[in-house]
Amino acid sequence: MSSTFVINNTKSKYCALKSIPVESVKLTDKFWSERIKTMEEVTLPLQYELLEETHRIDNFRRASGKISGDFVGFFFNDSDVYKWIEAVAYLLSYKKNEKLEGLVDSVIEEIRLAQDEDGYLDTYFTFEKKQDRWTNLKDMHELYCAGHLIQAAVAYRRATGKASLLNIAIKLADHIARIFGPHGREGTSGHPEIEMALVELYRETNDKKYLDLARFFIDERGKGVIGGSSYHIDHKPFRELNEIVGHAVRSLYLNSGATDLYMEIGDETLLDALERLWSNLVEKKMYVTGGAGARKEGEAFGEEYELPNETAYAETCAGIANLMWNFRMLQTLGEARFADIMELCLYNGVLSGISLDGKEYLYVNPLADRGNHRRQRWFACACCPPNIARTITAIPGYMYSVSSDGIWVHLYASSILKLDINSSSVTVKEETDYPWDGNIEFVLEANSHFKLFLRKPGWCEKFSVSINGEKVNPILENSYIVIEKDWQEGDTVRLNLVMNPELLESHPKVKDNVGRVAIRRGPIIYCVEAEDNPWGDVWDLEISEGTGLVEEYRDILGGLVVVKGEGYVNDPESWNGLYLTRGNARALKREIEFVAIPYYAWANRTPGPMEIWIKRS
């Protein structure tokens, strides 16, 4: 059995950092370990039931001839099954579960029986639709589904040592390689996904034809072979892109695949394009939650600074894709700015996509709501539920990296890390109440010389470090605190990240946020929700810049820190007429105390208005 990685770039030549196996980390905190436990006990078993209930697995049985009837659901429904398998694979690498493993093995057998002798596998294109295979790459998601199959197969092989699904994926990948490529048919996927999957298959098998095929699919973009639209990111060659456009998930998946490709081939024109796209996203098109995609139409990015709140799309899958891309950029360049975006996405725009009990989901994540937008048990287009499951079960693999210099800590959580550095066994025990507290302690069990890199988050202005009780003045490199020494058993490093509530303002060109502020504390973005504020409509709340913000731990919504403050509410019912002078309007305001909760926890209680960006008085 090999190690299980989110991406296995341990042999990649063009990257600063190397991933660590998921199983190298055991979480001991409440925040993430409880969520992984919920995945195991609630979410993953329930998702299997829903895959059966909605006939997604039956589509494989139909394709193999075991049952009769029509194909059920969207033409890309196979991908939901594959993402569920990948989620279980990461869980199995972290913790053995024979029941879930048995369910996956039974589903893999249904997948095997559905595969054609030539390797083709897509249950939509069977029987009467067989003649339509590979005729509409722009719309029909065949390569997208293949990509998710490959990712699931690689993860399951690494987690269990079983090659059953990997053999199926290789057979399909070989079929695709016989059809497409420099000496075959032109084409690329209307929904990117295959690119990063093929790079990972190359990393698993060392068969270069998969890497070459990934490069081919990226280089085919901009030639118009799938229509030439910006929606499909086909309007320009990838290396010429300077603005992130189109369908948000597709664009971010494509960037992830291009980053994977760069790590293998070192083409600087790829990296230059990725840097331009990253800057455009983070500086002009990303929500304060890490969400991506402003428009419902096309699930797409809008114009620069087009970031509406109530109508924000910010699909859960787009937040996940943003996390995935930034993780790859982090591995490539070793700079904390990418880990900052990972953390922002994870604690806000990704976690908001699943209920605290692990049973319901948000597809769209608005930043303001009147109480009508609620999580659902499932969706006809159910890309988000298994996607968030595979993200949460893979969390241990995102937290740390290694390099020739030492160990890198990206995301903070109580955990035990075990790995080898310079042929020496090292254990790092991390203790913290992050994200609610910025005090973090590391106890090392080591007898070797290496560097420990601790991320200084972008939200943190003040911090301190001590080693074995003695305060030190640390070196900062790319916003990582660097501690180099001959480590001994029991060496203790304490990091204190000063974590206070603060008010954020948008760039003045974000017109929906002019005259408004948002609350942030550490990595958490806050919102006001009706349940905690019985004094009136939270959309009427105003707060001043001098408002004193106070934090308080409450045993609600799984346990969290709320932020309280003084504000004003102007009751619209007390107005006499449609317009008043400013002086008369201000006289109608009354002072109240508001309570803000983490955005990820909203919509878990009684429906009511919610808002992130609060009016500034």
The enclosing domain of 69 has a CATH number of: 1.50.10.10
How deeply is 188 buried, as exposed, middle or buried, from its count of CB atoms within 10 A (0-12, 13-18, 19+)? buried
Averaged pLDDT, 53-76: 98
Query: In the structure encoding, which two tokens stand for residue 413, read together?
Result: 């959580």
Query: In the structure encoding, which two tokens stand for residue 355, read together?
Result: 């209920």
Query: In the structure encoding, which two tokens stand for residue 44, read together?
Result: 């993953």
What's the CA gap between 198 and 186, in Å, rounded? 17
How deeply is 272 buried, as exposed, middle or buried, from its count of CB atoms within 10 A (0-12, 13-18, 19+)? middle
Q: Which tens digits make up the pLDDT trace of 268-280?
A: 999 999 999 999 9
Please say whether the beta carbons of 435 and 31 come within 8 A.
Answer: yes
Same domain, 186 and 325: yes
Same domain, 410 and 395: no
439: in domain: yes
Q: Which tens digits make up the pLDDT trace of 219-249?
A: 999 999 999 999 999 999 999 999 999 999 9
What's the CA gap between 577 and 56, in Å, rounded? 57
Residue 575 binned pLDDT confidence (cut-offs 50, 70, 90) = confident
Same domain, 539 and 576: yes
What's the CA gap between 346 and 329, in Å, rounded? 16
In three-state secondary structure terms, 47 is helix
Residue 547 binned pLDDT confidence (cut-offs 50, 70, 90) = confident
Q: What is the DSSP string of 435-447?
A: TT--EEEEEEE--
How deeply is 470 buried, as exposed, middle or buried, from its count of CB atoms within 10 A (0-12, 13-18, 19+)? exposed
Same domain, 511 and 368: no
Ramachandran area for residue 479 (φ above 0: left; ψ -120 to 50: alpha; else beta) = left
- Structural domains in the chain (count): 3
Averaged pLDDT, 449-473: 97
Same domain, 120 and 193: yes
Q: Which residues pair with residue 528 across a beta bridge? A: 596, 611
Alpha helices in 141-193 (DSSP H): 142-160, 164-179
Q: Is the dihedral of CA 188, 194, 196, 200 positive or negative?
A: negative
What's the CA gap between 344 and 410, in Å, rounded? 12
Q: Is the pLDDT confidence value at 572 over 80? A: no
Q: How would you write 510-560 as a 3-class SS string?
A: CHHHCCEEEEEECCEEEEEEHHHCCCCCHHHEEECCCCCCEEEEECCCCCE
State the first-to-last Cα distance of the chain, in angstroms, to the nearest integer.
60
Q: Which tens digits make up the pLDDT trace of 11-27?
A: 999 999 999 999 999 99
Same domain, 492 and 397: no
Nearest to 343 by CA among 23, 32, 21: 32
7: in domain: no
Q: Is the pLDDT confidence value at 571 over 90? A: no
Query: Given 467, 497, 527, which residue is the final one in a domain?
Result: 497
Averaged pLDDT, 553-557: 97
pLDDT for res 405: 96
Task: Map tokens 């982090």 to a residue.
Answer: 330
Give CA 180 to chain center in angstroms. 30
pTM for the predicted model, two decimal places = 0.98
Same domain, 488 and 568: no
112: in domain: yes
Please say whether the beta carbons of 265 and 227 come within 8 A.
Answer: no
Same domain, 82 and 161: yes
Element (H, E) at 503: strand 501-504
Same domain, 166 and 267: yes
Q: Is the pLDDT confidence value at 1 over 70? A: no
Averaged pLDDT, 539-557: 94
2: in domain: no
Element (H, E) at 482: strand 480-486
Size of the chain in residues: 617
How deeply is 116 buried, as exposed, middle or buried, from its count of CB atoms within 10 A (0-12, 13-18, 19+)? middle
Query: Given 497, 520, 536, which residue is the final one in a domain?
Result: 497
Please say whether the beta carbons of 452 and 407 come within 8 A.
Answer: yes
The enclosing domain of 492 has a CATH number of: 2.60.40.1180
Q: Which tens digits make up the pLDDT trace of 282-303?
A: 999 999 999 999 999 999 999 9
Q: Is the pLDDT confidence value at 540 over 90? A: yes
Q: Is the peptide bond before 534 cis (omega within 30 degrees of 0)?
A: no
579: in domain: yes
286: in domain: yes
Query: Given 438, 463, 497, which residue is the final one in a domain?
Result: 497
**What is the residue-averaged pLDDT of the chain?**
97
Same domain, 428 and 361: no
561: in domain: yes
Report which residue type is found at 119.
G
Q: Which tens digits make up the pLDDT trace of 112-140?
A: 999 999 999 999 999 999 999 999 999 99
Same domain, 411 and 394: no
5: in domain: no
Which residue range forms the structural domain that includes residue 100? 18-401
pLDDT for res 2: 83
Task: Map tokens 């269990």 to a residue.
Answer: 160
Same domain, 474 and 531: no
Averaged pLDDT, 247-266: 98
Q: Which tens digits make up the pLDDT trace of 500-513?
A: 999 999 999 999 99
